[in-house]
Structure 1
Amino acid sequence: MKSARLVSILLLLQTRGRMTAAELAAELEVSVRTVYRDVEALGAAGVPLYGDAGHAGGYRLLDGYRTRLTGLTTDEAEALFLAGAPGPAAELGLGSVLAAAQLKVRAALPRELREHADRVSGRFHLDAPGWYADAAEAPYLPAVADAVWNSRVLHVLYRRWAEPTDVQRRLEPYGLVLKAGRWYVVAGPGPRTFRVDQILELAPSDEEFTRPDGFDLAAYWTRYQRDFHDRLYRGEALVRLAPGTTLPRAVRVDGHADEEGWTVARVPIESVERAHGEFLGLGAAVEILEPARLRAMIAATVAELAERYGNSRASGGD
């Protein structure tokens, strides 16, 4: 544990510059006294580290000193190469940059860690888009990414679902999110979420904006997904599912088994019309109990199919 902590102190000072003993202790979750002992150990090992007293004091490394020690564990090296998704990086215009960075990191790794990293690259491949869907063309993605990075305002012509479909928007892009093969830009004011592939025209500007203090992109996206699901599935259906039946979309089924072994559960639905098509795909493995309108629609469709196929037009056979 001590050796790992010494490495952490080195890397913190190398990346952040001057840090006080209290700041190091808080970062490493140890006591200030432990930091004092660790700093003495680094000095005794020949690391050019010194401390300044006073209000603006702290520990720092000698100017120009860089350690070649990465401090990476086996798991960390594997995770680093697994996380580098070449597809999304290329879409952002960073494909060659990612490849160069991985090459440099690989060269700096000890032989054992390099072998582990190579094993991960050869055995795991991340493919973000889902099946049965073409990759969304987003020609303005690099321009949006540049605006995100430089806090520049964008003026776009955006296609939405509601009328009027094509609208002008002024965006203050806070961040980009890749979800199921599609890129989304989270932008102010609001913030609001826009699909990058629905941007029809884009005009960059020199106008800068100030990113809101404390804005957390990951936390926003988590809330957005939860709210989107709540808005999308506002209805509910009471159904009976045959043993082993899987619903056509990922939804948790909390229910109880009846006397025939079927699961009786309430399932969120987007609309009666959408649920009609989804549940028909399950055939005889599902029975709709509520709402009455959905049950009647299913019954009418089944009756129509029975009449159509009962009055066979096929030729030949008995």
Structure 2
Amino acid sequence: MRAGRLVSLLLLLQTRGRMTARELADELEVSVRTVYRDVESLGSAGVPIYADRGPAGGYQLLDGYRTRLTGMTGDEAGTLFLAGMPGPAAELGLGSVLAAAELKLRASLPGELADRADRVRERFHLDAPGWFRGDEPTPHLSTVAEAVWSSRVLEIRYRRWKAPREVTRTLNPLGVVLKAGRWYLVATARERTTAYRVSNILEAEVLDATAVRPSGFDLAGFWQDWAARYEQSVYTATATVRMTEAALRMMAFVFPPEMSRTARDLAGPADEDGWLITTVPIESIKQGHIELLKLGDEAEVLDPPELRARFAETARGLAATYLPIASAPVPTAGSTDALISPG
């Protein structure tokens, strides 16, 4: 355990440069006192590590010192290969680069670790897109990726949902995110950082100017916060719905996560017939109508009146279509009705 921690501390200093004792302690999830002891042990073992005093100080390795020691375990070797995503890498224009990197990594591993990595590749596969969704056309993804990699300003013509539908934006690109098979560009424009759906980019051009990247920007942290705010912002209204317990359970499989999660959280107790009342967030009357129709006759909209009226209209239309068919006699195989056309 301690040997692995010493290797991790050494690799942190090698890859990141100067770090304070507190920063090392946070990364390694140990106390500062433990970091002091580990640094002393590394120094005693001949590792050229030294400390700079003062507010801007910290530990660092002697310039030019590199270690080839990785301390990679079998589980680490296997999960590293599991992280490879050839499909998305190819979309970014990095398919051949990823293949070459994996080949070099595979060749550098000792026999036992290489076998472990091969077994993981043979037994696990990541398929990012959701069910019943094809790949989105993203002809400008490679241009977007180039701007991100090279930290260059990007100018795009973008199609959005509100008027004016098409806009031109000059962006400081910060990163790309693959979410459920959909690519997004995280970028700053006019001091506002947000996400742009890459499939909605109509034109893209990398400019000569260097992009400005906020100090300490955390792509993963930003995306988590942005995605949570986005999910909450699209639901601008609510519907009061009476439904069966079975319908409430089914929502998790056929509804967007925010709708089903809120409906479960706000559900009241079921009556003796298994019906309950809950509140469901909706984007609009039209969207609520489309989603709640999935529950069929196991749900009844109580409010708002406009949504209930739309369901009543749908019910009348369905009755007009299906009830005459249901009440008509069904011709049997030996009946003459089956051979004589109407009129």
Q: With structure 2 as the length reference, what TM-score do the two structures score?
A: 0.80
- What whole-Å deviation, never above 9, does each CA across 1:161-207 have from its counterpart, x for those lacking one? 22332222211111111112121111112112211122222222111
Between 145-154 and 160-169, report the one with greater CA deviation: 160-169
The Cα of 1:92 is off from its aligned counterpart by 1.0
CA 1:265–1:271: 2 relative to 1, 3 Å: same
Where does the alignment leave 5 or more consecutive residues of structure 1 unmatched?
44-48
Instruction: Show the counterpart of 1:274.
Output: 287
1:295 maps to which of 291, 308, 333 = 308
User: In structure 1, how many angstroms separate the alpha carbons of the residues matched to 2:79 and 2:312?
Assistant: 52
CA 1:188–1:64: 2 relative to 1, 3 Å: closer
User: In structure 1, how many angstroms separate the alpha carbons of the residues matched to 2:117 and 2:49?
Assistant: 37
The alignment status of 1:283 with 2:286, answered yes or no, reads no
CA 1:164–1:72: 2 relative to 1, 3 Å: same
Could you say what secondary structure the match of 1:244 adopts?
A: helix
Matched ranges for 1:117-132 at <5 A:
117-132=117-132
Instruction: Show the counterpart of 2:335.
Output: none
User: What residue identity is the alignment partner of 1:298?
Assistant: F
Instruction: Show the counterpart of 1:233.
Output: 235
User: In structure 2, how many angstroms separate the alpha carbons of the residues matched to 1:123 and 1:104?
Assistant: 21
User: In structure 1, how many angstroms separate the alpha carbons of the residues matched to 2:223 and 2:23?
Assistant: 31
Instruction: Show the counterpart of 1:182.
Output: 182
User: In structure 1, how many angstroms separate the alpha carbons of the residues matched to 2:51 and 2:289?
Assistant: 73
User: What residue identity is the alignment partner of 1:281?
Assistant: K
Do 1:19 and 1:60's aligned partners in 2 also have CA atoms closer than 8 Å? no
- What whole-Å deviation, never above 9, does each CA across 1:203-232 have from its counterpart, x for those lacking one? 221111221123222222122212212221
Instruction: Show the counterpart of 1:258.
Output: 271
2:203 maps to which of 190, 201, 204 = 201
Instruction: Show the counterpart of 2:147.
Output: 147
User: In structure 1, how many angstroms separate the alpha carbons of the residues matched to 2:2 and 2:330?
Assistant: 83
Instruction: Show the counterpart of 2:331.
Output: 317
Do 2:43 and 2:49's aligned partners in 1 also have CA atoms closer than 8 Å? no
User: What residue identity is the alignment partner of 1:60?
Assistant: L
How many pairs does the alignment contain?
A: 312
The Cα of 1:16 is off from its aligned counterpart by 4.4
Q: Which has the higher helix share?
A: 2
The Cα of 1:89 is off from its aligned counterpart by 0.9
Question: Identity of paired residues, percent?
Answer: 49
Instruction: Show the counterpart of 1:214.
Output: 216
Between 261-270 and 19-28, report the one with greater CA deviation: 19-28
The alignment status of 1:42 with 2:45, answered yes or no, reads yes
User: What residue identity is the alignment partner of 1:288?
Assistant: V
Do 2:21 and 2:58's aligned partners in 1 also have CA atoms closer than 8 Å? no
Q: With structure 1 as the length reference, what TM-score do the two structures score?
A: 0.86
Do 2:48 and 2:65's aligned partners in 1 also have CA atoms closer than 8 Å? no
- What whole-Å deviation, never above 9, does each CA across 1:216-270 have from its counterpart, x for those lacking one? 2222212221221222112111222223221221321131212212232111111
CA 1:107–1:205: 2 relative to 1, 3 Å: same
CA RMSD in angstroms comes to: 2.8
The Cα of 1:60 is off from its aligned counterpart by 3.3
Do 1:25 and 1:35's aligned partners in 2 also have CA atoms closer than 8 Å? no
CA 1:154–1:317: 2 relative to 1, 3 Å: same
Between 50-59 and 151-160, report the one with greater CA deviation: 50-59
Between 216-225 and 29-38, report the one with greater CA deviation: 29-38
User: What residue identity is the alignment partner of 2:234?
Assistant: L
